[in-house]
Amino acid sequence: MSFNPIVALGSVAAAALIVMGATSAFDRFSSAGSFVASPELVTLAPGSFDHPQPGEFLGKGHPVAAPRILTTISAPLKIMKYQVSAAEYGRCVTAGRCKAADTLDSDNFPVTGVSHIDAEAYSAWLSAQTGATWRLPTDAEWAYAAGERFRGDIEGGTDDPNNPALRWLAQYRTEAALGRKSDPEPRVKEAFGVNSKGLADVAGNVWEWTSTCYVHATIAADGISTLSSIDNCGVHVVEGFHRTYMSNFIRDGKSGGCAVGTPPDNLGFRLVRERLNVVRAALRRLGFA
């Protein structure tokens, strides 16, 4: 199942050499250093599901519950079985392409103490190393892969245009009632088990960055269609035990996190892989974006 860059190169290198000239190609090749083993992937079949949208929603000028929209994953989704490990991330740090994380460099533990910016840097580096396109999942992709472990926002479920406080109080009660205790120590791989989709450690004590921007949207009277929306891509959706929203530069979920009793214990990530056509893959492997 795993992607083997050596095999991939074997079939595509020739095309690239024609483009670049052999000498420089080999220079780039050797300077790239050792190959990076491709992470273990889970492939999810396409499908549709009801997805509560991330962000803040207004209806008639007042906060309302997020619309639930039938969302379709139309192509097979290849996503990492495990969260990116501290050792995997550490190789990007060694290569000078990632900022050191605030965690120990252990292969059996997920990397934590990483920001959205760090996750993007790792994706770019891994893509260059493997010749594939690696990226953060969208919020919808993450939710699809999380399956039964997806929770989404903790909603108050109360909308009274005449008393906004009812909503704040209800949300507070709901979150307090979940009673989740802080659990800051990252656990060894698979300590939180495998979900029905075959992904390990979903909604454990490491929250995961997604590529979906925070949004403020105004929805129509039908409660579904969006009349207007403003993205804030300085803040991204973070998924885990619950959904939250974080500025891109935050690395510490405990202090950077959601406000009530259950901030994200840690921030980490896993990536999805897109397959490129062979020539592009070879160019990427050789250092061309």
Partner 1 sequence: MLTRREALLGSVLTAAAVATIGAMPAAASAKEVAGLPRERITLVAPPFVHAHDQVAKDGPKVVEFTMTIEEKPVVIDADGTQLNAMTYNGSIPGPLMVVHEGDYLELTLINPDTNTLAHNIDFHAATGALGGGALTLVNPGEQATLRFKATRTGTFVYHCAPGGPMIPWHVVSGMSGAVMVLPRDGLRDDKGRPIRYDRIYYIGENDFYVPRDEQGKFKKYETAGDNYDDTVKVMRGLIPTHVVFNGKAGSLTGENAMKAKVGETVLIVHSQANRDTRPHLIGGHGDYVWEQGKFANPPAKDLETWFIRGGSAGSALYTFLQPGVYAYVNHNLIEAVELGATAHFMVDGTWNDDLMTQVEAPRAIATQ
Nearer to partner 1, 108 or 248 (CB): 248
Stretch of residues binding partner 1 (CB under 8 A), selected from 22-30, 77-85, 181-189, 251-259: 251-259
Site string for partner 1, 194-233 (x = CB under 8 A): --------------------x-x-------------xxx-
On the CB side of 232, CA atoms within 13 Å amount to 15
Confirm or reject binding of residue 245 to partner 1 (CB under 8 A). yes
Closer CB to partner 1, 125 or 245, in the complex: 245
Q: Binding to partner 1 by residue 255, rule CB under 8 A?
A: yes
Determine, following the binding rule CB under 8 A, whether residue 259 of this chain makes contact with partner 1.
yes
CA separation for the pair 272, 157 (Å, rounded): 33
- Report the chain's C-alpha Rg in angstroms: 21
Site for partner 1 in 155-184 (CB under 8 A): 155, 164-165, 168-169, 171-172, 175
In the region spanning residues 21 to 40, those forming contacts with partner 1, defined by CB under 8 A, are none
Tokens 């105004």 appear where?
218
Beta strands 56-59; 62-64: pairing state: antiparallel
* Residue window 128-157: x/- pattern of binding to partner 1, with contact defined by CB under 8 A: -------------------------xxx--
Contact 120, 98 (CB under 8 A): no
Give the CA-trace dihedral at 172, 173, 175, 180, to 10 degrees: 130
Give the three-state DSSP class for 185: coil
